[in-house]
Amino acid sequence: MNIHFYDSLESTNNTAKEMVSSGAVHGTVIIADRQTGGRGRFGRSFFSPSGSGIYLSFILDTDLFFPHSPALSTVYTAVCVCEAIEILTDKEPQIKWVNDIFIDGKKVCGILVESITNSDGKRWLVVGIGLNFSVPAEGFPLELQNCAGALFEGECPVVSKKRFIDEIVGRFLELNERYSREELIYVYKRRLMILGKEISVVSPNGTFFATAIDVDCNGGLVVRMHDGAMQTLSFGEISIA
């Protein structure tokens, strides 16, 4: 297994993309104790202090990893992290479509999937995971205190960070042989926290409200508009209204 550990990186995803450009192999894992420029979706910063988080990225060959539907990579990653949490702790994680994992109403993990094309014109995926394992010694920044949580908050961890990383990496690198597409969508939907609920959706065309109904075979969110029309979202930012 090709795993690279670092004390500090700007971003594990950035380092992974640099490795793709220099010829990294499928299944390479980059892990850092700290990120100075951790990122989430839409360019948002991801608070990544040392000692309290798990920050890692996978380098994936698109010919081997969900070749017929790369969009399922985010769905698969969320399921893998949730399964690791459920196996190693007594926590009950939930997923907020498409890429955030919550425990007790607070976000504990974010997922960022990025695509990169190397000099040969071949496309690769970089899948980044940022998980708050415990609360930082200095606490979360003021602007995050109402929304950010940790896997172990106000309690001693029942498992080490190393054991948790091993579980995530081991599960993830079994790749999509573990589930058929239908099975993957089924186990993903079981953990979604929004189905049947009114949500607000921020899209390029503005913000609108709808009811989350289902998830399609590519991980798209099926919503019912107020006029009864159905729409499938392939991207966007949502929140429970």
Question: How do residues 108-120 score in pLDDT, each as one tens digit?
Answer: 999 999 999 988 8
Task: Identify the CATH number of the domain defined by range 3-190.
Answer: 3.30.930.10
Which residues of the chain form CATH 2.30.30.100?
198-240
Return residue ranges of the chain for CATH 3.30.930.10: 3-190
pLDDT at 177: 64
Q: State which CATH number among 2.40.50.100, 2.30.30.100, 3.90.1150.10, 3.10.180.10 fits the domain covering 198-240.
A: 2.30.30.100
Burial 211-238 (b: 16+ CB within 10 A, else e): bbebbeebbbbbbeeeeeeeeebeebeb
Question: Which pLDDT tens digit goes with each residue over 27-72?
Answer: 999 999 999 988 776 567 788 889 999 999 999 999 988 877 878 9
pTM, whole model, 2 decimals? 0.93
Tell me the average pLDDT of the chain: 91
